[in-house]
Each structure stands twice: as structure tokens, then as C-alpha cells.
Amino acid sequence: MTTSGLVPAHTGKQTATGSALTVEDLDVDLGGRPVLRGVRLHVEPGELVGLIGPNGAGKTTLLRSVLALLRPRAGRVLVGGVPSRPGRSVIGYVPQRHEFAWEFPISVEQAVLSGRTGRIGLLRRPGAADWRAAAEAIDRVRLGELRRRPVGELSGGQRQRVLVARALALQPTLLLLDEPFTGLDLPTQELLDELFAGLAAEGKALLMTTHDLVGAMESCARLVLLNQRVIADGRPDELRDPQVWMRTFGVSERSPLLRIVRAG
Amino acid sequence: MSIIDFLHDLTNPDLAFLPKALAIAVMSSVVCGVVGCYVVLRGMAFIGDAVAHAVFPGLAVAFVLQGSLVLGGAVAGILTALLIAVFAQHRRVKEDSLIGVFFVAAFALGIVIISRAPGYAGSLQQFLFGSITGIPDRDLYTVGFTGLAILMVLLLLHKELVAVSLDREMARSVGLPVFWLDIVLYVLVTLAVVISLQTIGNILVLALLITPPATARLLTDRLPVMMLLAPLIGGGSALVGLYLSWSYDLPVGGTVVLVATAMFLSAWLLAPRHGLLARRWRGAGRRHAERGRTTGPGGAREATV
């Protein structure tokens, strides 16, 4: 159950409308070079899916395609059964921490509220519903006590939680997380792990890119191994075959990576 | 010269140009202070500098044709800003290099054009370093209305401009027109520069755009406060600078900028939370306290710079 033949079998079972996210035969080129080829992927409500692959495998490109920020060469992306469009699809996007201007003089509360800018619309002020959504999101990530703190004074883990709250302020059914664990210490990672598991339990669909294999095998319901194509897609215990990991990461059989996989 | 004498001169009908210059200097500093907040927070200082250069050929053409300097400068600045925005879509050459190419070329074009006008040396100096004499009455209204329009647009688009400044990718993903918001901001910066040129001059106008907001940033961590403090600091610098310049017969642009710089340095030293002295004092206090980083509420952890 570990070859790529498993992938169509998996997607075949699902109807497109039931999935929070369905990616169908996606081809994406960047600067004329192929980055993604024939990518098929689905994420169900209540599922935390780990997207794993080496640098340059196309993980971020896949996330940007889901957000419809890139025009694919072929294939399509359905969010809640409808083709993805910026501003129309309700996707909670949690970018890598360095994408955000942390030196900006803005409080946690305001930063989270800024997630709803597109929803509020031009020439309008945030209304009661917007403030309520922001407050709920802040409570959800347990930053209530820091709501008035300038974002520049937060630790790495707190910053990551601000980005999650900003995404949650849109009340999305689908969350895209780009490397949420990078540069965080273990206790902070654990805290975030609990948060993501909780969000999945509430019925949200989460797709997360990560380099943290140990954590991903532990916390993700399903892993998708990506390197231009989907190399394998299955539960962590279905992915014990070293071959798929060697193909995904282009490493030899002596790589310490494989010890982690077998131990997991 | 005492303040009383200055007030006398301001009301002296023979010196009618003086209150006019003061009004224009204060209005344009206030507008630059507000617009500059976005420039400083987005790290666009170089673009501000570039726009200031780019308006020059427009001024030169307006001067040669005896037209409106504000209009000429605005057209040239906006045209060049649009050129940059369009060329920047291709990633082969980086934006800062493009700016280096186009805006300096625009400045060079301005110099060539104005050299064709008779008696250009004097007017060149006036463009570059500012002057308080020879401001036509209609400029008072042009500056006033343009300034109001700039502030209006900023008020209406504030939420979107903040979202784009915080995180462009996220802004795109929620469907904000990031490219057009950039263009609007460039145009507003250009207009703010153009209305400030008369009194401050082409070279020094950058200081009005950068120094007061940077000073305000040192004093607060809250954006609304910053956007209130920056125009106050800018307007105050213009007022004090003009007074000093009039009293001691100093060039007005240079004096205003030096006053603003003095305010920046004072804030650097004395700011309540982020000033040098406050840091030193807190640092000494902390050495006595527990070591290690606290990250919880009330912790003294500072952002790494």
C-alpha cells in the first residue's frame, strides 16, 4: 500500500463535493519550468494532512495554487466543491512567519482583525461581526491576555498563533499552514500541535507543509509525500516502505531519514 | 528675533509672502507626515527619494512653459511611478535597480530641459533647495485641496493599505487588488512630494516624508498614535524651522529639516520605551532581576532587531 498507485484509489472513494479541498490533476509551471505535475489531493473536514517533501518539491507552490494565486497549466482546485478564487473561497492561509511585517506598530487584536479586510470590503469599517470573529479567533489560540500587545514584542510561538488566529478570523473550513513549526522549540511545537488537533476535531480541514517528520508522523492523520508529483499518500503507518521516502527526498538507503520513518 | 517680532512680520502686509509660505510649509509637512507613515513602515524610503527626483522634469517643463509647477511635477512623478510599477512586474531586474535607472534619468532630463530656459541658475537653486518667496496665491489653494484629497484617500483605504503592508501574500489571497493599492500609494507619495517642493525644495523633501514618521515610530507602538504624532512633528518642525530661518536668515528648507532631525535625535535618546536612555536604564534594572527570557504577560522580553 505504499506506491503511487494508492493515490487514485484514495481519491476515487471521495466525491468532490464532500471534500473541503480537492486538487485534480494539477500541472503548474514557474518561469517555464515544471514544478507540479498531475497532482491529485483531497482533504476532508476534520482531517489534518501533512504535506512533506524536500526543498523545491513544490509544497509552497501547491499552497499558492490552492489559494488561486498561480494560474495552473492544467487541472483545477476545488474548495468546498467550488473552483478556488482569491477573495471568494474561504481559505484560512497561515504563511511562513517571515512573510509578516512584525515590526509594524499594530496590536495582536488589530493584526487578527486584518485577516478580515477582504471580507469587510472597500470603504467599510469592521462591524460587530468582524470584532466578534477576531475575538473568538484570539481566544481559540489562547492569546486573550496578549490581545493589546504590539506584535513586535511576541515570541516565535506567539507570533505563529497570531497568524493562525488571523486565518481563523475568516471562519474558514479549510486551513493552509506553511511550515508552522520552523524555528520553534519543542514545548511550543507541542502547544501548536494540540491547537491543530483541536481545530481538526472541530471539523476544520487542515493542510500543513512541514519539515518535522517525527511530529508529522505523530500528529497527522494522513501524509502526502510530494516531489513535483504526489509520490505517496496514506496514513503514517501505511508509509513504512523506505522506497517512497527515498524517492521523495532523493536520499540513499543509509540516510538517517529512513531510521525515523521505520521508528515512526 | 523674538516670537512677538515674528508674529508682527507675519501680519505685516509688506511681507505677505511670509504667512503664505508658513501656511504651505505647515500644510505640506502635515500631509507628508501622514503619508510618510506608510513609507517608513513599508521600508519605501528609497521610493520616496526616487519620486522626489522624478518630479523634476515636470517642474522644469512647467517652468519653461510658465505653467503650474504642482501640476507639472505631479504628471512627471506619477508617470515615472507607473513606469516602475509596470517594469517591476518582470523580475529579471530588481525594483531598486529600476528605480535607480528611471528616477535618476528623470532628474537628468529635468536638468537638461531647465538649462534651455533663460536665467535658469537661480530657478534651479529654488527648485532644489526651496524658497519662501514667489509663491503664487493659487498655490495656496492647490496645496490645501491636494493635501485634503490625499488625506481623504488614505482614510478611505487605510485598512487595505495596512493589510498589504503587513503581508502581501495574505492580502492577495483574500482578493485585495495589491497592484492597484501600490499604485495608489505611489501616486499619493508623489502628490505629497509635489506640494512640499515649493518651500522645502526637491532634495530636502525626503526628510519631511521620512523623519517625522520615523520619530513618531520611536515614540509609540500604536499605528493611530503614530499617524497623529508624525504630522504634529512635521508641522511643528515646519513652524519652528521657518521661524528660525526668518530670524537668522537661514535657508528655509535646510532649517526645517534640521529641526526635524533634532526632534528625531531627541526621540532616539529620550523615548519612553524604546529610547536609548530608557533601554540603558531598563538594562541595568534587568541585570539585577532574574536572568533568562520571559515570554508570558508582563515579561520584559524585547523584540530582536
C-alpha span between A16 and A1 (Å, rounded): 23
- Coil, strand or helix: which one is B136? coil
What are A's interface residues with B at a Cβ cutoff of 8 A? 64, 67, 69, 85-88, 91, 93, 95, 99-107, 110-111, 114-115, 117-120, 122-123, 125-126, 145-146, 149-150, 152-155, 157-158, 166, 170
**A217 contacts A190 by C-beta, under 8 angstroms:** no
Partner-chain residue, chosen from B226, B293, B302, that has the shortest CB–CB distance to A105? B226
**Partner-chain contact A102 B220, CB within 8 Å:** no
Contact: B295, A155; criterion CB under 8 Å? yes
Q: Is the pLDDT of residue A47 over 50?
A: yes
* Positions of chain B with pLDDT lower than 50, given as ranges: 290-305
Whether residue A86 and residue B174 make contact (CB cut-off 8 A), yes or no, is yes
**Chain A residues inside the 8 Å CB shell of B159:** 114, 117, 120, 125-126
Residue A191 pLDDT exceeds 50: yes
| Overall average pLDDT of the A63-68 stretch | 95
Which of A129-143, A150-164, B268-282, B284-298 bottoms out in mean pLDDT, i.e. has the lowest? Answer: B284-298
In whole angstroms, what is the distance from residue A219 CA to residue A195 CA? Answer: 11
**Per-residue pLDDT reduced to its tens digit, B123-139:** 777 777 877 877 888 88
At residue A101, the pLDDT reads 95
CB of A230 within 8 A of CB of A40? yes
| pLDDT value of position A17 | 53
Q: What is the DSSP letter of A145?
A: G
Chain A residue with Cα closest to B218:
A105
SS3 B242: helix
- The sheet with strand A174-178 has its strands ordered as A91-94, A174-178, A205-209, A48-52, A222-227, A229-234
Return the pLDDT at B98. Answer: 79
Helix and strand counts by DSSP (H, E) for chain A: 10, 10
Surface-to-core class of residue B200, CB atoms within 10 Å of its CB (0-12 exposed, 13-18 middle, 19+ buried): buried
Say how far apart CA A14 and CA B116 lie, in whole Å: 75
pLDDT of residue A250: 87
Distance of CA A9 to the CA centre of its chain: 23
**Considering CB atoms only, which of A87, A103, A125 is closest to B175?**
A87
Which strands form A82-83's sheet, in the order they lie side by side? A33-43, A21-30, A74-79, A82-83
The pLDDT assigned to B89 comes to 65
pLDDT (mean) for A112-129: 91
Buried b (16+ CB within 10 A) or exposed e, B46-69: ebbbbbbbbbbbbbbbbbbeeeeb
pLDDT at residue A180 greater than cutoff 90: yes
pLDDT of residue A23: 96
Query: Are residues A53 and A226 in contact, defined by beta-carbon separation less than 8 angstroms?
Result: yes
Expressed in angstroms, the distance from the first to the final Cα of chain A is 17
Rounded-to-integer distance, Cα A224 and Cα A244, Å: 11
Q: List all residues of chain B from 36 to 65 with a beta carbon under 8 Å from chain A.
A: 41-42
Cβ separation of B217 and A69 shorter than 8 Å? no
ipTM over 0.95: no
| A95 → closest Cβ in B41, B170, B222 | B170
Any residues with CB less than 8 A from the CB of B62 and at least 6 apart, and which?
B68, B69, B71, B72, B73
Whole-number pLDDT of residue B236: 97
- Searching chain B, which residue's CA lies closest to the CA of residue A148? B222
Contacts of residue A197, defined as CB under 8 A and 6 or more positions apart, other chains included, come to A48, A219
- Cβ separation B295–A119 shorter than 8 A: no
Q: Render pLDDT for B199-221 as a digit per residue (tens, 0 to 9).
A: 888 878 889 999 999 999 999 99
pLDDT of amino acid B121: 67
CATH T-level fold of A1-90+173-264: Rossmann fold (3.40.50)
Q: Where are the domains of chain A?
A: 1-90+173-264, 98-171
Q: Which residues of B touch A85 (CB under 8 A)?
A: 175
**Higher pLDDT pick, A180 / A7:** A180
Q: How far is residue A262's CA from residue B27's CA, in Å, rounded to a whole number?
A: 70
For residue A14, pLDDT beyond 80: no
Between the alpha carbon of residue B39 and those of residues A11, A12, A110, B43, B44, the distances in Å are 48, 52, 20, 6, 5
Residue B150 Cα, gap to closest chain A Cα (Å) = 15
pLDDT score for B32 = 96
Distance from the B2 Cα atom to the nearest Cα atom in chain A, whole angstroms: 39
Q: Do B163 and A155 touch (CB under 8 A)?
A: no
- Assess contact for A21 and A42: CB atoms under 8 A: yes
CB-count burial class (<10 Å; 0-12, 13-18, 19+) for A247: middle
